[in-house]
Chain A
Amino acid sequence: MNFWNGLKKVFQFGARGRQFSLGNKSWNRPKPKKPKPEPLFRDLEANQRLLEKIFELPTNQDVVIRDFSIPSLKQKALLIYIDGLSDRNTQSFAILQPLMILGPDEAVNGKDPVTLAYQTLLPGHQLQKTASLSDVVDGILDGSSALLIDGSDQALIIETKGWEHRGVDRPNNEPVVRGPQEAFVESFRANTASVRRYVKDPKLVTEIFRVGKRSRTLVAVMYVKDIANVKLVEEVKYRIQSVSETVDYIPETGTLEEYLEDHPKSLIPQMLSTERPDRLGAYIREGHVGVVMANSPFSLIIPTTFTIFLHSAEDYYLRWPFGNFLRFIRSIALFISLMLPASYIAVINYHQEMIPTDLLLAMTAAREMVPFPAIAEILLMEFAFELIREAGVRIPSVIGPTIGIVGALILGQAAVAAFVVSPILIIIIAITALASFVVPNYNASFAIRILRFLFIILAGFLGFFGIAFGLFLLILHTVTITSFGVPFMTPIVPYQPRNKDRVIRPRAYEQKYRPLFLRPLDWIRQEKNPRRWDRPQSSIEKGRDDQNEQ
């Protein structure tokens, strides 16, 4: 039976029936079930026993339970928090001090003590009243303090987060010359706030989920309510929720990406991870959905298309000739880093007639002493370069400079001097390496690095024919895959004539439409002629209209 199932799978390959797409009107996801919250007890001691059981007290020495009594309410109370995650000053001066010192004002009989404490006693700015046990546990684990008072089945979660964290830093992986110089950090609220600073739109919605049955990591789904497509947002939330119901631990957006994406087996990344809040903000304004996760300085942009991998944040901050020049360079670099070594192999092995005679003589002379065939030589050098690359990331920073010496001297000069590789090949590898660093996305450059090896092998077998074969397969694949229902190669194919920001971007004032392939609720990004002084007739008419309206 397995055989038939396998065969069935092969022949259903590429069938579009069950895939999610934004245009598919009849598509409906089941609404997520909300689990019934577990209630708290009225009795304080019962609550204490319950929490002690949950937090494995007293074996667990991280969690602190401070019991005290509130004279103004004439009740016993508990404060529970995790040592190190919460801020001591806040706890002492904004919780314990008012509760224990403030005297009784009036008769308090009959009223719920938690409500009273909430309304009259606690000066803290962020308090959450809850009756659910899981909220209390999550709050404590987040670094807040939970206040339980005898005689009430409600609890107060008081915001006291304050742990040691890294400050906002410059972006390490996506630096720009011109533009904002700040990056996301590990702190969740700092990240959502910095996105908010770039999108000061009251309609920017931050929905917060917890993923991981055990890790309970906070995940924020951010979108602009009246721009982002409803179905897209629903799909993102649906996928995140179904992951959070099934998976124990999700540590980082990289792992989350793998759970969420349409084609996890594909070599091509289908989501963009960025560490720049300005970039995430820009895409959220366009109708994309952003995913920010606690403990992760990388956010996800959903959905992502091919052209976005060629863009960098800086293209939009520079004047358009300059930005486009960079884009042009980058596109060529993409091509070089994918194709150059393979083309070299193809020309050397199969199409020698293409090389001009002088160059051919020089190359032959250089290769004369090298004992290996060209393909072995290039695979060797590419592999050595991958080693340098990986070592450069992993090496302890104290001995970092050694990498340069080892790479340049041993692999470059000594290999040539020992006639292991030819100098032309070193040039090829060096140009390829440079070009591969120009590709602005780390994930995309991974795909290119792996594909490069495949192309080298194909070129070794069949020359340009092999490369063309591989390229055709690659194009077929990229045209087929989708990112959250959006075709990966759009707006090139399927063609969107109104979205001109593909490889070369138009001038900023000419980009009238938001990406239509996202089917945004609001299509128009800007009015037709923002430069009114440029076209007097239309500006006069416009002015008249405005006056009439007033």
Chain B
Amino acid sequence: MTKMSSEEKIGHHEALSLLVIILSAKVFLSFPRNMALLGDAAGWIIVFLAGIYSLVGYFFLSALLKKYPGKNIIQIAHQVSGGICGKLIGAALFLFFLMTTSLYLRQFAESFILAILPRTPISVITILFLILLVYTALLGVETLSRVAWLLGPYLLIALIIIFLFSLPQMTFDHLVPVLGPGPVPLIKYSLTHLSLFSEIILFGIIAPLIRSREKINRIGLYILGVAVVINTGVTILTTAVFNYVETQKMVFPVFQLTRLVAYGEFVQRVEAVFVFLWFFWAGIQLSGLFYGAVTSFAQTFRIKNYRPLTLPIAVLTFTISLIPASMTETVELGDYTTSPSLISNYYSIAAFGIPFLLWLIAFAKKHLGGVTND
């Protein structure tokens, strides 16, 4: 463990709320739409199944973390697979975090422009977010996780308010046909779209910082459990309120849900207030992923102090986030069509393939003899 990261300690409550927020931030983007595109009315089943599979995938990560206590996934990679391979794996994870940060940043920026600031240039919003990300990364993940725990309850309350106000509009008839395109495609899509829960790999980076070691394994399970509930719930909600045909046409369906929040003559069209929900959720998620990018880069190349890396990586993030030419292109980059895109595959491999690979190597080293580095 490097000197800098060992100074920081996270409580398990804080880690839980941070990771749940990071895993479920995508519901505010085009995630419900993508699920409707994939599975028609049965989009939620895909999310649910993918969640179950990701639990299996998480098993390897947690086994690694248990076997090498006090080390994060990149240090484990260095130890298990050695020099070049470890660096390659670390670089792959860095690329994963960089891509997720940049693309989510772009998507959130687009959603803000669509929702409340139609005439603001995208770079203004992106740069404001990047200021936040750099500031958070300099303050460290301890602060970020505390913010997540502080704001978590309010974010949850806001989500519940959205849910309650859209209750009258819900029709469960919209959820038929229950199995959508049929059981076989559902299982296939949920396997190919494991990347829905790929951000769990960040847990591999921050888990060694958690104060109570014996709880690490359980916390990971809780994180995935709560994230699956939120993501599945929102998918059901959008489909039940709008039906899947309409959901497929919306870019940011949850934003449309907030428009339903109204009470009597006076409280109407308050969707602008939900900007706070949006912003805090996005801010915490992006900061977490950005922290992942910065630290994974630092640890891959064994840099003791990650702080000087924040500015260059922020510039890189900004550049990548501006690559998509338009909002449509941005939304389609995450491309959840029947055949998963390169990016989606990459996410799945980075998040679940790498721990599996490392686990296999560690397992082989242990049982087939050979040199152990322990």
Which residues does chain A contribute within 8 Å of B136, judged by CB atoms? 476
Q: B117 to A11, Cβ gap below 8 A?
A: no
Q: Report the bound CA distance from A469 to B287 in whole Å.
A: 13
Tell yes or no: B343 within 8 A of A by CB: no
Q: Report the bound CA distance from A461 to B274 in whole Å.
A: 18
Interface residues of A in 477-501 (CB under 8 A from B): 479-480, 487, 489, 492-495
Q: Mark A95-139, 1 if CB is under 8 A from B, else 0.
A: 000000000000000000000000000000000000000000000
Q: Report the bound CA distance from A351 to B140 in whole Å.
A: 34
Q: B276 to A471, Cβ gap below 8 A?
A: yes
Q: Report the bound CA distance from A463 to B308 in whole Å.
A: 32
Q: Report the bound CA distance from A7 to B310 in whole Å.
A: 12
Interface residues of A in 13-50 (CB under 8 A from B): 13-17
Chain A contributes a number of interface residues (CB within 8 A of B) equal to: 36
Interface residues of B in 265-305 (CB under 8 A from A): 265-266, 268-270, 272-273, 275-276, 278-280, 283, 305
Tell yes or no: B363 within 8 A of A by CB: no
Q: A16 to B8, Cβ gap below 8 A?
A: yes
Shortest CB-to-CB span from A540 to chain B, Å, is: 38
Q: Report the bound CA distance from A350 to B275 in whole Å.
A: 12
Q: B272 to A354, Cβ gap below 8 A?
A: yes
Partner of B279, one of A7, A351, A472: A472
Partner of A495, one of B112, B149, B283, B310: B149
Q: Report the bound CA distance from A469 to B112 in whole Å.
A: 12
Tell yes or no: A465 within 8 A of B by CB: yes
Which residues does chain B contribute within 8 Å of A465, judged by CB atoms? 112, 116-117, 125, 128, 275, 279
Q: Mark A316-356, 1 if CB is under 8 A from B, else 0.
A: 00000000000000000000000000000011001101101
Q: B307 to A479, Cβ gap below 8 A?
A: no
Query: Which residue on chain A has the smallest CB distance to residue B272?
Result: A351
Which residues does chain B contribute within 8 Å of A475, judged by CB atoms? 147, 150-151
The prevalent SS among residues of B at the interface is: helix
Q: B307 to A495, Cβ gap below 8 A?
A: no
Tell yes or no: B13 within 8 A of A by CB: yes
Which residues does chain A contribute within 8 Å of B135, judged by CB atoms? 473, 476
Tell yes or no: A464 within 8 A of B by CB: yes
Tell yes or no: B323 within 8 A of A by CB: no
Tell yes or no: B110 within 8 A of A by CB: no
Q: Report the bound CA distance from A13 to B135 in whole Å.
A: 9
Chain B contributes a number of interface residues (CB within 8 A of A) equal to: 44
Partner of B11, one of A15, A462, A473, A494: A494
Q: B14 to A11, Cβ gap below 8 A?
A: no
Most buried by B among A7, A353, A493, A495: A493
Say yes or no: A350-B138 contact (C-beta < 8 A), given A464-B272, A475-B151, A479-B143: no
Tell yes or no: A362 within 8 A of B by CB: no
Partner of B273, one of A464, A487, A492: A464
Partner of A476, one of B120, B125, B139, B307: B139
Other A-B contacts than A463-B272, A469-B279, 8 sampled, CB-CB below 8 A, are A10-B138, A11-B308, A14-B138, A351-B272, A354-B273, A464-B275, A464-B276, A468-B279
The 28 sampled A-B contact pairs (Cβ below 8 Å) are A11-B138, A11-B310, A16-B142, A350-B117, A351-B116, A351-B272, A353-B269, A353-B272, A462-B124, A464-B116, A464-B276, A465-B125, A465-B128, A465-B275, A467-B276, A468-B279, A469-B132, A472-B280, A473-B135, A476-B135, A476-B139, A480-B139, A487-B146, A492-B150, A493-B14, A493-B146, A493-B147, A495-B14
